[in-house]
Amino acid sequence: MTHKISEEPEHPEEADVIVGQPSDANNTEPITTVEDESLITPPSAPPHIQKRHPAEQIIGNINDGLRTRGKYIPGQYAYVSQFEPKNYKEALKNDDWFFAMVDELSQFKTLHVWDLVPRPLNQSVIGTKWILRNKYDEEGVITRNKARLVAQGYTQEEGVDYDETFAPVARLESIRLLCAYSYMGFPLFKWTSKVIF
């Protein structure tokens, strides 16, 4: 359906509205009219609007873009604990934190992080500690309980318990190789590990 806007209507009895100069000489704004007012598509509408909607269904400014709400994801927040325990004894009292700790230990077992061996004589043993933190999304809502078992490395002495230290850093050659792969069109993906080992 097309709308005809003209200075002079071809058939004055059929036109609902006429575009022209107002009869009042003091008012200089032109009168804009459309034959069928039930469907309106303004000439200044953004190019991404491709459908014509009845004018009575349009709420707000017709020149604004389309606004939608974010998708509601139910049930995710019901399975996380809302508090952070101060130690592992408090964490064991809550099922959500207990399952987070079991998940961390099962990852250690899956990745063969350690082997159980007899305690060596005259050697210091490094202790472990649970780090228990809530993870938040961008809106500040708790989405996950993260339990991490870490070694108490601060109890060691350099030269007695260890001689060398290592840090995971990216070498310049690796960065150059990634840039070359990206330039040649190979897809690159971001990957994060669930555990630190």
* pLDDT tens digits, 158-186: 877 778 887 778 889 988 998 999 899 98
Q: Is 149 helix (H, G, I), strand (E, B) or coil?
A: strand
Segments forming the whole domain that contains residue 128: 76-157
Whole-number Å distance between alpha carbons of 104 and 149: 7
Share of the chain above pLDDT 90, in %: 10
Mean of all residue pLDDT scores within the chain: 73
- Tell me the percentage of the chain whose pLDDT exceeds 70: 63
Question: φ, ψ for residue 104 (rounded to 5)?
Answer: -65, -45
With respect to residue 65, please indicate whether it lies within any of the assigned structural domains.
no
Is 11 within a domain?
no
Q: Considering Cα of 96, then 99, then 104, then 107, what sign does the dihedral take?
A: negative
Question: Structurally, how many domains does the chain consist of?
Answer: 1
Based on its alpha-carbon atoms, the radius of gyration of the chain, rounded to whole angstroms, reads: 34
Sign of CA dihedral 154, 158, 162, 168: positive
Tokens matching residue 101: 């700790």
For 122-149, what is the mean pLDDT? 87
Q: Is 185 part of a structural domain of the chain?
A: no
pLDDT of residue 75: 57
Beta-carbon contacts of residue 129 (< 8 Å; ≥ 6 apart): 149, 150, 152
Residue 144 lies in a domain: yes
103 or 196, which is more confident? 103
CA dihedral 103, 109, 114, 116 (to 10 degrees): 110
The pLDDT tens digits of the residues spanning 28-72 come to: 555 445 455 555 555 555 555 556 777 777 777 777 766 666 665
Residue 193 has pLDDT above 50, yes or no: yes
- In a domain, residue 151? The reply is yes
Per-residue confidence (pLDDT) for residue 66, from 0 to 100: 65
Task: Read off the tokens for 181.
Answer: 């792969």
pLDDT at 29: 52
